[in-house]
Structure 1
Amino acid sequence: MRGLGRLGRGLLWVVLLVLIAALGVVVWLKVTSNPRVSGTVTLPGLSGPVTITRDAWGVPHIRAQASDEDAMFALGLVHWQDRAWQMDFQRRVSQGRLSEVLGEAALPQDRFLRTWGFYRAAQSALPALSERSRRMVRAYTAGVNAGMAQRKVAPEFRILGYTPEPWTDVDSIAWSKLMAYDLGGNYDDELLGVRILKRLGEGGLNEVLPPYPADGPTILSRDELGLGAKAGGTDLQQATLPDATLRALQAHLDAARALGMERVPGKGSNDWVIGGQRTASGKPILADDPHLALSSPMLWYLADVQGPRLRAIGASIPGLPGIVIGRNDRVAWGVTNVNPDVQDLYIEPATARLTTRTEVIKVKGGQDVRLTVRESAHGPIVSDVGAGELGPRVALKWTALQPGDTTFDAFLGLNYARNWRDFTAALEKYVAPSQNFVYADVDGNTGYYAPGRVPIRRGWDGSLPVPGDGSREWTGYIPFARLPHTYNPADGLVVTANNQVVPSSYPYTLANIRNWAEPYRAGRITDLLTAKPTGLTLDDVKRVQLDTTSLVWRDLKPLLLATQPEGDLSRRALDLLRGWDGNQTTASVPSTIFEAWLAELQAMAQDELGDSTRLNSLAVRNQLRAGGELCRDEADGQQDCADELRSSLGRAVERLANRLGPDPGGWTYGKVHTVASNHRAFGNVKALAWLFNHSTPTNGGTNTVNVARPDPDTMRQTHGPSYRQIVDLSNMNRSVYVGSLGQGGNPLGDHVTDQQTLWAAGDYLPMSTDEGDWGKTRTLTLNPGR
């Protein structure tokens, strides 16, 4: 027994030593990776002293005395300090250089990124920027490299075993090209349209991609437009492509999806501006919440950046200089995606002249891969992957790949805008991705503008691939002065939620009528705001931004409740739905049943068009109301929509029972509906995912204002409000904002997830430049040096 006791004590000492060693490693990693956030450092490249005061949530409040360039230098520094890995990863995405550090598994993504030429487009954009913008970019780049020189190494660099390269000016604007892809174009809709025509005929287009409802709300009314009537019509250009070519074109979408860049139903944004005649203070209130993929680290980085003239606070993106969404001391702005049709696929004739270039992709642990990229006058040939030269040569034309992109000039101009004139002058330089900008200022003015290059097509609508023989060419862009806009609208309200921008009387085509988001969010926001015609407060606007009532449920309720259930489990689930008010909270059981059922219904076109095809809620409603053809499935013996409702409910409850148990009363939404803020590189690596991924139960659902569409397979939330802000123009420092996760990118550091708790609970941080609102602070002083 004594021997066994000695052995036990020996094992205990071994365990203790292992734990001490592990703790030592963690402490070492924290010391060598966490940035310096207090004290004084001397850095070359500054013209005067700068203070960086981080508040209780890690938000930096930058104060530069000598120049605005010094303030931008400091922003580059803090971006690298807190988000080094994110910045390098995003840079590698834009360059198509993921395989260098992730290995052969990233080759499909690199081929897609190199073929489209995102980084080349950024290189061509830099010389087009104004001198002020180039100065700010140079200062930001210097700040990033100053942060890199502090030699604090993010854990991801140690795990993957490489050292990041110095930052360049092109790197400072390159990510904007990926944002343009994520938020613009209809490449995927063109491919889906071809598949629909091949399998369902022309009538299938309206069934799978329903037009925007004639009675749906538009952002601007005919009176607000003040423009002439629409002239002429368009023809539907029939397009046929071989299946091999479609698969090659689809490969780009699959690669983008692996990078988290995909268009999903319900991915969009909300913003609105309320005039002073509707508010309690008599001054405007402006709200915005962009809906994007949720990741770890979060996309946005909150910052307050001030120099002698610069006075901007809000949401920045690590790797990009300046504030993207936010306010200064006079003006506030918010953005949502317009999603105009700015991409076209051209089927090039055999006589088309092509140029070629060779891209060399370095692969970690493998041989270099040589990629030949061909281009026509329209753009890169995007059909070469898989199909090669055997099928039609399909080229991509896209505004974001055109030379002379001055979008950064526009965003920097917003940071400096003092009034509507400055605001619109900045937006005149905007190229892509086209956004719905709402505006408010301290003088009480409100406005809206939808800037960007939108092609003019004469006699065709761009919804399908077209011949590249010169018969279907862009004839220019919609003039800036005739893009949708309004200033001080009479009703004191502009609401945008990716819905149709303008009525059919608008003389230009912004997008195909099937491209707009469904009207549910826009309708709900408008209803809530107009229910209280006057006296609206910041708290009222918070309640609207956080609303989780499903208009989709209200639309589908009579159709779903008419279902004849098959089996006891379906009957019990249907009974739980009968008294539900449509409020989608984590405690709700009907929310779980409804979303699982809706996911099954949205798959009803997959037997015709493939497993990647999902209908939106509007298409589901239209099919069920009209007894549509998509309800039928001869292979499963489904004859009509009654059969589809019965069988889809059965599949949904069976899946839920297998996951949550046999009692539907225990199927609360929060058990399955959790946000998935996953790491881009390690999110699916079991040994590391626990450290880098972050999750929490969330409210909301498909097309609620607080949008939180569940993934159809897992019911987890992967997209949603990536950032929220509400600006009170009566007292700017009463404004609020919050991100989806936290300021920190280092999982061993501070402020990694402290905003996620607030975000999920519907709370906010003070969007204040007043030190009294910052809580406990730490200040780093930067002094200029040689």
Structure 2
Amino acid sequence: MATGRRGAGRRVGWVVRGLLGLILAVAAVIGGAFLWVRSTALPRVAGAAVVQGLSGPVTVTRDQWGVPHIRAQGSDEDAVFALGFVHWQDRAWQMDFQRRVAQGRLAEVLGEPALAQDRFLRIWGFQRAAESALPALSDRSRRLIRAYTAGVNAAMQEGKTAVEFRILGYTPDAWSDVDSVSWSKLMAFDLGGNYDEELLGRRVVDRLGEAGLNEVFPPYPEGAPTNLSADELPRPAAPPAGPAGTGDTALLPERTVETLRAHLAAARSLGMERVPGKGSNDWVIAGSRTESGKPILADDPHLALTSPMLWYLADLQGPTLKAIGASIPGLPAIVIGRNERVAWGVTNVNPDVQDLYLEPEGTRLTQRTEVIRVKGKPDVQLVVRESAHGPVISDVAGEDARAAGPTVALKWTALAPGDTTMDAFLGLNYAANWADFTRALSAYVAPSQNFVYADVDGNTGYYAPGRMPVRRGWDGSLPVPGDGSREWQGFIPFEDLPHTFNPADGLVVTANNRVVPGSYPYEIGNIRNWAEPYRARRITDLLTGRPTGLTLDDVKRVQLDTVSLVWQDLKPRMLAATPDGESSRRALELLRGWDGNQTVDSVPALIFEAWLMQLQKLAQDELGNEHAVNSLAVLNALDGGGRLCQDAARQIRDCPQLLTATLRQAVTDLQARLGDDPAGWTYGKLHRVASDHRAFGKVKYLRDVFNHSAPTPGGTNTVNVARPEAGTFRQTHGPSYRQIVDLSDPNRSLYIGSLGQGGSPIGPHASDQQTLWARGEYLPMSTDPKDWGPTRVMTLNSLK
């Protein structure tokens, strides 16, 4: 018996040793493959490289977070060359994907599922617009762009290949100068369009009448904060633009509206969408209000939170170019940041710079044929038509769409030839004072932004540059006839655009709210175009609550504030609800004592957002299941007891019944997700940042490698904005970058991105900023090596 046990034991031992050997062999293969991928995909960040295109050596010192500190002695072009080099090293896939989006060449590598996006991108003509912009740029800009292109292509010659290129099985093309302009066109769409609101506005009028516009798109409230006060407005030499009003609008058949909405679906799939709560904050505080006696400037642009992140932190110094801040891979400039003398920040103006024109029969159209290559499928030919107004976007579905309804063309400032916006951004990098700053902005076209300004001499300012159309007798909120009766009358002159220098109260706050009060003689956007005033009001209240002695830490607390003014407005209305069961009653009691602070461990924060999501559906029975109204529309509906509260299909007759029903729906939803006990309904369990990969974010087995997530505070319209996505509670948009610049000692300034510097999921800097960002921490925005921590140094030497 003992012998049998010993024999069995030996057999088990053999099996175990065999399995262990197999596991070790597999691990060795996997480990070897991992090391091989790392060695061929991750960039060289130390040592020396010999490259073609430099006038002298350049050092690239990467700090402990992977931020490159570039030092070029020979020329500014050498510094920009190095920026292109490190951009491609760290973000090659992102850069290639972005230019493919602009070109409408996604199906070429992603296959037939990307065909709809390519059609949308080709019809709108983003790449053609970029090609027309390049010749209009200044000699300096062209030189810097050429240097940047040379740097990108030099990095390609290093032979390192992004993981995405390996997975998809293709080699990227060489970079070209126009590729450095094209992404700015996509940013203009992301930040400067309102044609979707024109389409929805048309549907609202059709189904609810003209009065429905104010119910679904509430006008900006009287007395709410504006960027400039009446006494800060410029005094235009030109006469007023004429009376406002909708004027004659064009009726669009429902089938045409649905065809046009296909563009929205394509844009949404690319992350190019206008979502509620997507905006930005920036402000500048004069030295009269600060402890140091010098200005403090803050900015946090709210955009899609992607993997890799949009921004790339960089410190760029040549003989005269000395800028640090946030760059965008593909663009040869610091987009938001500071140099040795001035700092700037941006938020979206939300101007109305797009119009839909219903072209009459017989309108002269031009056309061209585009060829879309599709991976694994035959090429697709696409006929693109244009009128004098712009591209015919009702042709989205191809030939069949032309017989389906009228011809609708899009007019948009960003598609006009001769866009010199790149001159403006490069000029900001060199600005030494307000005169330089405004001179640079005079070249700005699109997307119009609120620029705040501060300098080391103690000056502060604000400008809203860009081409903003002048309309006479109509307001651009709805589609119009293309018969010549509703044409733009030029643009607001640059000197008449909203701006101020050293305002008397020492404070400028912008948060996508209304730019100017009603006394301004031009229309920038219609009264329904602005973000709700909650963020602007909260920032202003916090900063003016302490009129002097403000410090960097004070500004940090404002930027990270998560108290909901939306809750404060809705609280008495929501707490007046009649619960229809024990679960609803318990949820209501948890809300009753809540202070509105939306922290990750708050239970009431999750109940509030879940309930608000349900309330924001109140117009879906009239407008369709995809439409959610904003918080102000909910407030107005509850106060007015209006028709939007009614829903015949659900037998809801009034607002009290709506409150009861939506509370029950919210509680039922949370129970299904987190269980019956509300004690476990903490906000951070569902509310998590979702930095998803553009190509692989939804691909099984790849998404867990390429996507990144973390619990986050904040909510709908908090200063630290973090609106939960309807149906998932994920945070998909928010502060993509934060900076706080102290002009008393610029190297004490702070910045941080939402994810990390690296683009490779296997690299050390893929997501090392995300936890800090979610906790409200920052990196030193310093050009001083003592603040960089452990470093790695690479030298780029010129090939003789």
Could you state the TM-score of these two structures normalised by the residue count of structure 1?
Answer: 0.99
Q: 2:726 aligns with which of 706, 712, 726?
A: 712
1:207 counterpart residue number: 215
2:106 counterpart residue number: 98
Task: Say if 2:124 is the partner of 1:113.
Answer: no
Task: Say if 2:384 is the partner of 1:345.
Answer: no
1:57 counterpart residue number: 65
Q: CA deviation at 1:612?
A: 1.5
2:766 counterpart residue number: 752
Matches within 5 A, 1:225-236: 225-227=233-235, 232-236=242-246
Distance 1:82 1:296 in 2: 13
SS in 2 for 1:622: helix
Q: CA deviation at 1:4?
A: 4.2
1:34 counterpart residue number: 42
**Given that residues 241 and 470 in structure 2 are in contact (C-alpha distance below 8 angstroms), is that contact kept between their aligned partners in structure 1?**
no
Task: Please give the per-residue CA displacement for 1:523-548, whole angstroms capped at 9, x wherever unaligned.
Answer: 00000000000000000000000000
Distance 1:293 1:61 in 2: 26
Distance 1:231 1:340, change over 3 A: closer
Task: Say if 2:487 is the partner of 1:491.
Answer: no
Q: CA deviation at 1:6?
A: 2.2
2:688 counterpart residue number: 674
**Given that residues 76 and 320 in structure 2 are in contact (C-alpha distance below 8 angstroms), is that contact kept between their aligned partners in structure 1?**
yes
Q: CA deviation at 1:230?
A: 5.2
Q: 1:261 aligns with which of 272, 277, 280?
A: 272
Task: Say if 2:567 is the partner of 1:553.
Answer: yes
Task: Say if 2:94 is the partner of 1:86.
Answer: yes
1:362 counterpart residue number: 373
Could you state the TM-score of these two structures normalised by the residue count of structure 2?
Answer: 0.98
1:128 counterpart residue number: 136
1:637 counterpart residue number: 651
Q: 1:521 aligns with which of 515, 520, 535?
A: 535
Distance 2:234 2:453 in 1: 19
Alignment gaps of 5+ in structure 2: 1-7
**Given that residues 241 and 523 in structure 2 are in contact (C-alpha distance below 8 angstroms), is that contact kept between their aligned partners in structure 1?**
no
Q: 1:471 aligns with which of 478, 485, 490?
A: 485
2:660 counterpart residue number: 646
Task: Say if 2:275 is the partner of 1:275.
Answer: no
Q: Name the amino acid aligned to 1:140.
A: Y
Q: Name the amino acid aligned to 2:480.
A: V
SS in 2 for 1:152: coil
1:609 counterpart residue number: 623
**Given that residues 230 and 505 in structure 1 are in contact (C-alpha distance below 8 angstroms), is that contact kept between their aligned partners in structure 2?**
no
Task: Say if 2:10 is the partner of 1:8.
Answer: no
2:201 counterpart residue number: 193
2:5 counterpart residue number: none
1:304 counterpart residue number: 315
SS in 1 for 2:532: coil
Q: Name the amino acid aligned to 1:235.
A: G
Task: Please give the per-residue CA displacement for 1:175-233, whole angstroms capped at 9, x wherever unaligned.
Answer: 00000000002111000001101111111100000100011110001100043695642
SS in 1 for 2:118: helix
1:373 counterpart residue number: 384
Q: Name the amino acid aligned to 1:234.
A: A
CA RMSD, Structure 1 to Structure 2 (Å): 0.9
Matches within 5 A, 1:445-594: 445-594=459-608
**Given that residues 234 and 496 in structure 2 are in contact (C-alpha distance below 8 angstroms), is that contact kept between their aligned partners in structure 1?**
no
Q: CA deviation at 1:393?
A: 0.2
**Given that residues 672 and 715 in structure 1 are in contact (C-alpha distance below 8 angstroms), is that contact kept between their aligned partners in structure 2?**
yes
2:3 counterpart residue number: none
**Given that residues 227 and 507 in structure 1 are in contact (C-alpha distance below 8 angstroms), is that contact kept between their aligned partners in structure 2?**
no
2:640 counterpart residue number: 626
Task: Say if 2:610 is the partner of 1:596.
Answer: yes
Q: CA deviation at 1:15?
A: 1.9
**Given that residues 234 and 499 in structure 2 are in contact (C-alpha distance below 8 angstroms), is that contact kept between their aligned partners in structure 1?**
no
Task: Say if 2:331 is the partner of 1:320.
Answer: yes
**Given that residues 234 and 497 in structure 2 are in contact (C-alpha distance below 8 angstroms), is that contact kept between their aligned partners in structure 1?**
no
Q: CA deviation at 1:572?
A: 0.5
SS in 1 for 2:470: strand
Aligned residues: 786
**Given that residues 42 and 783 in structure 1 are in contact (C-alpha distance below 8 angstroms), is that contact kept between their aligned partners in structure 2?**
yes
Distance 1:410 1:25 in 2: 46
Distance 1:49 1:225 in 2: 49
Q: CA deviation at 1:365?
A: 1.1
Q: Name the amino acid aligned to 1:288.
A: D
Task: Please give the per-residue CA displacement for 1:425-456, whole angstroms capped at 9, x wherever unaligned.
Answer: 00000000000000000000000000000000
Q: CA deviation at 1:767?
A: 0.3
Distance 1:487 1:101 in 2: 49
**Given that residues 713 and 722 in structure 2 are in contact (C-alpha distance below 8 angstroms), is that contact kept between their aligned partners in structure 1?**
yes
**Given that residues 230 and 504 in structure 1 are in contact (C-alpha distance below 8 angstroms), is that contact kept between their aligned partners in structure 2?**
no
Distance 2:234 2:768 in 1: 47
Distance 1:680 1:754 in 2: 19
Matches within 5 A, 1:285-300: 285-300=296-311
Q: CA deviation at 1:666?
A: 1.1
Distance 1:232 1:769 in 2: 50
Q: Name the amino acid aligned to 2:286.
A: G
Distance 1:620 1:482 in 2: 36
**Given that residues 250 and 358 in structure 2 are in contact (C-alpha distance below 8 angstroms), is that contact kept between their aligned partners in structure 1?**
no
Distance 1:5 1:643 in 2: 70
Distance 1:443 1:629 in 2: 56
**Given that residues 606 and 612 in structure 1 are in contact (C-alpha distance below 8 angstroms), is that contact kept between their aligned partners in structure 2?**
yes
Q: CA deviation at 1:136?
A: 0.2
Distance 1:135 1:226, change over 3 A: closer
Moved more, 14-23 or 437-446: 14-23
SS in 2 for 1:686: coil
1:249 counterpart residue number: 260
Distance 2:225 2:741 in 1: 24
Task: Please give the per-residue CA displacement for 1:579-633, whole angstroms capped at 9, x wherever unaligned.
Answer: 0000000010000000000000001111110112110000000000110111100
SS in 1 for 2:727: coil
SS in 2 for 1:308: coil
Q: 1:336 aligns with which of 347, 350, 356?
A: 347
Distance 2:395 2:129 in 1: 20
Q: Name the amino acid aligned to 1:344.
A: D
**Given that residues 96 and 111 in structure 1 are in contact (C-alpha distance below 8 angstroms), is that contact kept between their aligned partners in structure 2?**
yes
1:162 counterpart residue number: 170
Q: CA deviation at 1:41?
A: 1.3
Distance 1:744 1:226 in 2: 44
**Given that residues 91 and 175 in structure 1 are in contact (C-alpha distance below 8 angstroms), is that contact kept between their aligned partners in structure 2?**
yes
Distance 2:571 2:250 in 1: 38
**Given that residues 311 and 415 in structure 1 are in contact (C-alpha distance below 8 angstroms), is that contact kept between their aligned partners in structure 2?**
yes
Q: Name the amino acid aligned to 1:671.
A: K
SS in 1 for 2:346: strand
Q: Name the amino acid aligned to 1:327.
A: R
Distance 1:55 1:6 in 2: 51
Task: Please give the per-residue CA displacement for 1:544-583, whole angstroms capped at 9, x wherever unaligned.
Answer: 0000000000000000000000111111000000000000
Q: Name the amino acid aligned to 1:271.
A: D
Q: CA deviation at 1:3?
A: 3.2
**Given that residues 498 and 517 in structure 1 are in contact (C-alpha distance below 8 angstroms), is that contact kept between their aligned partners in structure 2?**
yes
Distance 2:657 2:125 in 1: 48
Task: Please give the per-residue CA displacement for 1:368-427, whole angstroms capped at 9, x wherever unaligned.
Answer: 111111000000000112433330000000000000100000000000000000000000
Q: CA deviation at 1:10?
A: 1.8
